[in-house]
Every structure is written in C-alpha cells, then in structure tokens.
Amino acid sequence: MAVNDPDILSLSMPAVTGVANAADLSRLFSLALDGTLIRNSTLERISTPTLDDWHLERVALWPIRKGHGFFYERNPIAPVSKGKFVFGHPGYGCQFVLADPSNQLTIAYVANGLKTGTAEVCTTYMRLQRAVYDALRDS
C-alpha cells in the first residue's frame, strides 16, 4: 500500500497513515486507555516518562519531558492525580492528542489550517485543555 496515495490519505486511519480527524484520533487513544489496544501493564509502563526532567526538545525548541515516543506533563488535576502524568504528542501546526490514564480521558485537537508553534505553546489548544480540566475540577 502506498501511504502517500491521495485515495489512502482521504481515509481516516490514524494508526496507519497518521492522518485523522479529532474524533478518530481521540478514539484511538481511548482504545489504549480502556485496555482494548494495549495491555494494562503496557499502559502503566508508557504512562511515565523516561526523561523525567525538563529536556529541551530540539524540534519544538520547548522544554519537555519525553519517553516511549510521547511528550509528558504532570497531570493538571491535583491531589487526585498527584504524581501522575498525562501524555501525548504534538503534530505540525498546533495539532495535539493527549491521554490521561488517571481520568480515563483523551483530548484531540486538529486545526483546519496550520497555526504557529506546537501544541505546548499553541494558545488555542492550551485554552481547550484548560477548559476540559476546569470542567473536571468543577464536577
């Protein structure tokens, strides 16, 4: 299969092509969180960064925690998730997907045009993430 074929790229297959809409990207990560896609032991392993100290990421030029192919940050909800991490990965132009195992939550943001920066410094995504966690805190 030629992955760069326009007919293939028009399909939403995030696990194969890396091309997806927000709903499908979120669903893919949800399958990891609920044990359908990976074992719980694997989820436990990838839920913690291997570089648990700020590291200057050379592509994004932003200090991050990294490991297992993901970027990590401390879980925004404390004390419920104290010491836990959320993880995900940015895409070009402000796209981002986030998995929060402690809250069984995924957030996916894709833009219909490229924005400046990666998700960690993208105000649109960061406002979305803050709103989701504010709603969780208020519930």
Q: What would the pLDDT profile of 107-133 be if each residue is shown by its tens digit?
A: 999 887 777 766 567 888 889 999 999
Give a yes or no: residue 80 inside a domain: yes
- Which one is predicted more confidently, 75 or 119? 75
**Long-range contact set of residues 30-34: C-beta below 8 Å, sequence gap at least 24:** 30/106, 32/99, 33/99, 33/101, 33/104, 33/105, 33/106, 34/104
Domain of residue 17, residue span: 6-138
Give a yes or no: residue 67 inside a domain: yes
Give a yes or no: residue 35 inside a domain: yes
* Domains contained in the chain, number: 1
Tokens of residue 89, six digits: 């990965």
Give a yes or no: residue 11 inside a domain: yes
Give a yes or no: residue 133 inside a domain: yes
Give a yes or no: residue 1 inside a domain: no
Give a yes or no: residue 24 inside a domain: yes
Cα gap 105→119, rounded to integer Å: 17
Q: What would the pLDDT profile of 31-47 be if each residue is shown by its tens digit?
A: 999 999 999 999 999 99
